[in-house]
A = this chain, B = another copy of it.
Amino acid sequence: MQRKIEVCVTPALLGLYDIKDSIVVVIDILRATSSIVYGIDNGANAIIPVANVEDCLNYTDNGYLLAAERNGSVVDGYDFGNSPFSYTKERVGGKTVVLTTTNGTKALHMARSRAKQVVVGSFLNLQSLSNWLKTQDNDVLLLCAGWKDHFNLEDTLFAGAVVNAIRAGFTEFDDSCVAAEDLYLLAKNNLRAYISKSSHSHRLAALNIEEDVQFCLQLNICDAIPVLIGDNLVRLQLDQIPESSLTEHVN
């Protein structure tokens, strides 16, 4: 079977890709998609990504948890931002979280209207995501949320990790796949050290989120694959996949 995998290094380039029959994996490692994966894995009913802080306010009276982050900090008056430590079983289990973040939500919304299916990736669910992607028939676009439409290292490294995990099932790769995979192979033995080369490592340090960064770089602590259904990110139901198939695809 002919299958193509591509890496879109920033949402600003999404228009270049024909994704109507593709699975799009949205990637915002620090920290939106890591927190989304962790929250869904911890039993959140749904996470609703919204575009603006103002849009969150439509949900205030309905028992939703409100999460809003801008430029890395929790917005005043909201329940929490996008630190993964807020997305524990105790806080989000059985709840619905309404979330707006700088880059991740934007990428989710851009992909939603154009792709066949939109799922969420992070190092936390790398293996389950990769195993599932292998069992599908569609082309895959790995969409890096980036930083304000710029290329960023951590999202590209994760895209490279996915390429590396699933490449055997694909026949066509774009140049950004090659670059992302090679950067991942260079960085994988110490992701944290590699990301410290990033231009925004100073910004991250100023936000005092080192524990978050360390958390988001953990591999395979979650099984859940969040999938966008309408406005809601919910847990992808894998029941239809036989157990044997899952085992077979484990790296």
Interface residues of A (CB under 8 A from B): 9-10, 12-13, 16, 147-153, 156, 172-179, 182-183, 186, 197-200
Contacts and interface: CB of A to CB of B under 8 A. Distances in A.
A193 to B, nearest CB: 12
B151 A179 contact: yes
B149 A175 contact: no
Which 6 pairs between the two chains have the least Cβ-Cβ distance? A151-B176, A153-B175, A178-B197, A174-B199, A152-B175, A175-B199
B150 A16 contact: yes
B153 A179 contact: yes
Contact of A9 (B151, B174, B178): B151
A179 B183 contact: yes
A12 to B, nearest CB: 6
Contact of A173 (B9, B172, B174, B199): B199
A205 to B, nearest CB: 15
